[in-house]
Structure 1
Amino acid sequence: MSAGLRSGQVAEAAGVNIQTLRYYERRGLLAEPERSYGGHRLYGEDAVTALRVIKAAQRLGFTLQEVAELLEAGRHRHGR
């Protein structure tokens, strides 16, 4: 298993709190992270980028539903 960032590290780097991080995960805005052997969530650097994009889109007036649709369209376009 590769090393990753724990929830607190990702939240701090993206300027959100852990509850926001988990909420976006439940909403499907963020992919479910890998888990360490101890059960801790381990995120890649792409999670920080995704959180920053989500927050920027919200500042521009997009709803979370619209952000989810944009992210999904981007995933399909890039074959993920």
Structure 2
Amino acid sequence: MADSDHSSHDATTSVDSRGDNNNSQDPKLLDFSEDEETLIARMYTLVGQRWSLIAGRIPGRTAEEIEKYWTSRCSEWRMNRET
């Protein structure tokens, strides 16, 4: 019986930790330095949507973070610039 209590606690803990991880990524997504923004734009010009290659040039960033940044900030900027 103690084992079943323990396993349900582990399931709850893993759900909570996944939720915490998602929340901690949102502020980081918005906090790109000016140097990172410039590098992302330059790398995108050179290699396109090869997010993992771009992320490899920016320590501490994942390909998913780079892609989210690009699609949320830069795509919006490009649309405004074209109009």
Structure with greater proportional helix content? 2
Which one has a larger percent strand, Structure 1 or Structure 2? 1
Q: Same-fold call, TM > 0.5?
A: no
Higher relative contact order (CA 8 A, sep 6+): 1
Q: Which has the larger radius of gyration?
A: 2
